[in-house]
Amino acid sequence: MENKTSPETFLKIGRRVITREAAALELLADSLNDSFADAVELMLGATGRVIICGMGKSGHVARKIAATLASTGTPAHFVHPAEASHGDLGMMAQGDVALILSNSGETPELADVIAYTRRFSIPMIGVASRAESTLIKQCDVALVLPKAEEACDTGVVPTTSTTMTLALGDALAIALMEHRQFTPENFREFHPGGKLGARLSKVSDLMHSGEELPLIAMNAPMSDVLIAISQKGFGVVGVVTTEGDLAGIITDGDLRRHMKGLLDMSAAEVMTANPKTIAPDALAEQAVANMNDRKITCLFVTAAGNGGAPLGILHIHDCLRAGVA
């Protein structure tokens, strides 16, 4: 007799579940037809928001789809079907598109939502596994999930069906996102916090500018350079021309290399000319890579990243504090 609590049994169950759900996703991909394109077009044409409803497990999936849509450029909002019957129907308006999720297509709590969309001519996309269900018959665009067994042997726990619905929501979101040519920079606007926001931070978000910039004229004596390096605290100073362009930099390393007669020299005589710079709209992650490659701790920021007037300075510690690297 098989030991139902053995590690081998648990692994067998886990692999069975994942294999069943993977097979269901293959069926889903093969089942997509013109209705999927119609659903995308309907959401693209919305002048309001995509209102997503679902009850129970479908409700949890609906919340995730709403969050994914909203973060990728499609205004979306989750409305709980039970709350909708007690006033939240007012969250739906003409110009919106409703995306209604129900595996059976007969969820009673959705009745008022469906009726409301019909009464006020709000386009409705239905997602269900039964083509003959009330939801599918009433909707304007039907997305019918293919027949696939749930991951559990009892066949009653929403597993495979919710995975397919979630994947379908992702497919809709990405189709909308790519049509709108949604960029990583756009994505960051909706994700300013956390590791993802940090990775998408721009140099301009983290750089020091204005009075914080350590700058010195080319003809400045090295005594002034030493004071500037000490006061600004970056361990480096930028050397600028009379036109204000960055001509070079002076680092601690430059000071050590010119120790003999240092105070008798000018900034132009000690500086390293044509330093590596970076543009303000570059990702901070790129700046970190550049600093790591060159084993330096600071980068001056210029308009195009290839010379010109310095706009700011970025220190590796600024990136680390922001969670970049």
Residue 212: CB partners within 8 Å, gap ≥ 6?
Answer: 232, 313
**Residue at a domain's end among 147, 182, 217:** 182
Looking at the chain, how many residues does it have? Answer: 325
| Range of lowest pLDDT (43-57, 174-188, 230-244, 256-270) | 174-188
Mean pLDDT of 266-280: 91
Q: Are residues 174 and 236 in the same domain?
A: no
Alpha helix positions (H), 103-159 = 111-119, 134-138
* 244 shares a domain with 163: no
For residues 191-218, give the mean pLDDT: 78
Tell me the residue range of the domain where 214 lies: 203-322
- Quick check: is 1 in a domain? no
> Amino acid identity, residue 20?
R
Same domain, 31 and 148: yes
Same domain, 152 and 238: no
* Residues 218 and 285 grouped into a single domain: yes
Per-residue pLDDT at 132: 95
- Structural domains of the chain, count: 2
- How far, in Å, CA of 287 to CA of 321, rounded? 14
Q: Are residues 147 and 251 in the same domain?
A: no
The answer to whether residue 276 sits within a structural domain is yes
Single-letter code of the amino acid located at 228: A
pLDDT digits (tens, 9 = 90+) for 71-118: 888 889 999 998 888 878 888 888 999 999 999 999 999 999 999 999
- Read off the pLDDT of each residue in 237-266 and give the average, rounded to a whole number: 91
* pLDDT tens by residue, 10-35: 999 999 999 999 999 999 999 999 99
Amino acid symbol at 77: H
In a domain, 162, yes or no: yes
Please check the confidence at residue 161 and state whether its pLDDT lies above 90: yes
> Tell me, what's the pLDDT at 297?
87
Helices 160-179, 7-31: axis angle to 10 degrees equals 50
* Residue at 191 is within a domain: no
CATH no. for residue 257? 3.10.580.10
User: In angstroms, how far apart are the furthest CA atoms of the chain?
Assistant: 91
User: Based on the domain organization, do 26 and 140 belong to the same domain?
Assistant: yes
- Does residue 80 have a known ligand-binding role? yes
Residue 5 CB coordination number (10 Å) = 6
Q: What is the CA radius of gyration of the chain?
A: 30
Signed CA dihedral, 270, 272, 278, 279: sign only: positive
The CA angle 123-127-130, to the nearest 5 degrees, is 125
Q: How far is CA 152 from CA 5, 163, 178, 218, in A?
A: 17, 13, 35, 75
Please tell me the pTM assigned to this model.
Answer: 0.63
CA 142/CA 123 separation, integer angstroms? 11
- 256 with 149, same domain: the answer is no
Q: What is the pLDDT of residues 38-64, one digit of tens each?
A: 999 999 999 999 999 999 999 999 999
Asked if 19 and 140 sit in the same domain, the reply is yes
Confidence class for position 195, pLDDT limits 50, 70, 90? low
In a domain, 197, yes or no: no
Please state the rounded mean pLDDT for residues 150-157.
85
Is 300 found in the same domain as 217? yes
